[in-house]
């Protein structure tokens, strides 16, 4: 407080000098000092001086005065100033809303705070920041309004505000008030973090969920496994997959195919085959994508015998090969210079009524070209 008083005294002394021409930045500091000294009325006097001297106040000016009124608990005056800022087009930003929302929450008027947050969503002029959500969530936690707190927490994450430190703080605050988010809330949070590429933090959160006995479900793991595979973090994906198996929580076929594709692309066909075996063991029905992914992986390695074995297994498992199945296998045989087998598969595909696509046509052109060259030579 002594520093604030010193700054004010220095400003008053300097104001007596004809050569002193304070700018908006300087006067904002003085306004801030008056507000910290709980003399907001004198802060408004400085605003008056700014206007008289032709200085254009900025968002910082109005936010500082608004914050001063809120901290003094005079919410009627704060609300009036806020409306004047918004309706008369004064500089305004997300900080302006966060200040007034926090002010209302401090005096227990959460309903008014929530109305302002809804106003931000409705007019879409200013996007709510994390600090527009946090005072309401904190207040509802204190009041034991669990459903509202969790609902707004989800809205905050969906709005793109999932900074790890703040999220951790929110979760800790909820825990302090005896509120434990359900797995749906955690899934929303996990998905948001995954989209931001924060896979390491997400793994820690999954571990924290498990510690709180809110066991992750297939959706939780599916979202994370998919992201880990797409980002090339296969070791983390394998470890997480092992955790799932230990909890008898097996992912759906879509997630499994994502993992399988990542393993195949990396040439890890032994692990890919083990995954397929595990899928069968857990009663998962393999689909066309599963088989096509395996065929692709073996073809990339030039292991055509194994690729053909997988292709033959499709009929035995009641899964019909599609155009992609044939294209992948035919391309593999062409690269292996086995044009006779490739031609036979191509004819088989046509006989079964499958519609060739551009890949099929390009491959067939290559077969004909290679066979023609072989005949010439």
322-334, pLDDT tens digit by residue? 999 999 999 999 8
Band (pLDDT 50/70/90 cuts) for residue 360 is confident
**CA–CA distances in Å: residue 314 to residues 212, 295, 317:** 43, 11, 5
Residues 6+ apart with CB under 8 A from 140: 110, 146, 148, 149, 152
Q: How far apart are CA 25 and CA 280, in angstroms?
A: 69
Q: Does the pLDDT of residue 119 top 50, yes or no?
A: yes
CA distances from 156 to 106, 115, 151, 170, 185 (A): 20, 15, 9, 11, 11
Interatomic CA distance for residues 45 and 49, integer angstroms: 6
**Is the per-residue pLDDT at 373 higher than 60?**
no
State the Cα–Cα distance between residues 339 and 166, nearest whole angstrom: 61
pLDDT score of 67: 92
- The pLDDT score that the predictor gives to residue 375 is 44
Does pTM top 0.85 for this prediction? no
Mean predicted confidence (pLDDT) in 56-78: 90
Q: What is the pLDDT of residues 132-162, one digit of tens each?
A: 887 887 787 777 676 676 677 667 766 655 5
């Amino acid at each position: 407080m002594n520093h604030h008083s010193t700054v004010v005294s220095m400003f008053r002394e300097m104001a007596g000098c004809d050569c002193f021409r304070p700018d908006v930045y300087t006067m904002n500091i003085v306004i801030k000092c008056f507000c910290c000294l709980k003399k907001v009325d004198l802060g408004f006097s400085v605003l008056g001086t700014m206007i008289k001297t032709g200085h254009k106040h900025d968002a910082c000016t109005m936010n500082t005065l608004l914050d001063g009124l809120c901290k003094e608990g005079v919410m009627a005056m704060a609300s009036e100033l806020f409306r004047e800022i918004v309706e008369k087009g004064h500089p305004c930003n997300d900080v302006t809303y966060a200040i007034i929302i926090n002010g209302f929450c401090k005096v227990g008027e959460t309903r008014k705070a929530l109305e302002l947050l809804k106003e931000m969503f409705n007019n879409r002029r200013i996007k709510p920041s994390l600090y527009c959500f946090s005072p309401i969530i904190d207040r509802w936690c204190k009041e034991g309004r669990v459903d509202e707190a969790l609902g707004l927490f989800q809205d905050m994450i969906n709005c793109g505000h999932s900074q790890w430190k703040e999220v951790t703080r929110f979760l800790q605050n909820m825990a302090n008030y005896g509120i434990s988010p359900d797995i749906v809330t955690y899934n929303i949070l996990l998905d948001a973090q995954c989209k931001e590429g924060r896979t390491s933090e997400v793994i820690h959160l999954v571990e924290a969920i498990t510690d709180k006995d809110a066991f992750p479900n297939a959706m939780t793991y599916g979202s994370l496994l998919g992201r880990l595979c797409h980002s090339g973090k296969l070791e983390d994906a394998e470890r997480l997959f092992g955790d799932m198996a230990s909890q008898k929580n097996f992912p759906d076929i879509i997630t499994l195919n994502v993992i399988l594709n990542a393993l195949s692309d990396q040439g890890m066909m032994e692990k890919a085959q083990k995954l397929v075996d595990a899928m069968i063991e857990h009663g998962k029905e393999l689909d066309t994508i599963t088989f096509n992914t395996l065929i692709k992986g073996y073809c990339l390695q030039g292991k055509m015998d194994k690729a053909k074995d997988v292709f033959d297994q499709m009929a035995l498992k009641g899964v019909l090969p599609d155009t992609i199945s044939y294209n992948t296998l035919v391309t593999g045989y062409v690269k292996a210079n086995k044009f006779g087998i490739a031609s036979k598969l191509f004819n088989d595909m046509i006989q079964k009524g499958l519609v060739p696509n551009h890949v099929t046509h390009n491959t067939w052109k290559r077969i004909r070209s290679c066979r023609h060259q072989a005949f010439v030579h």
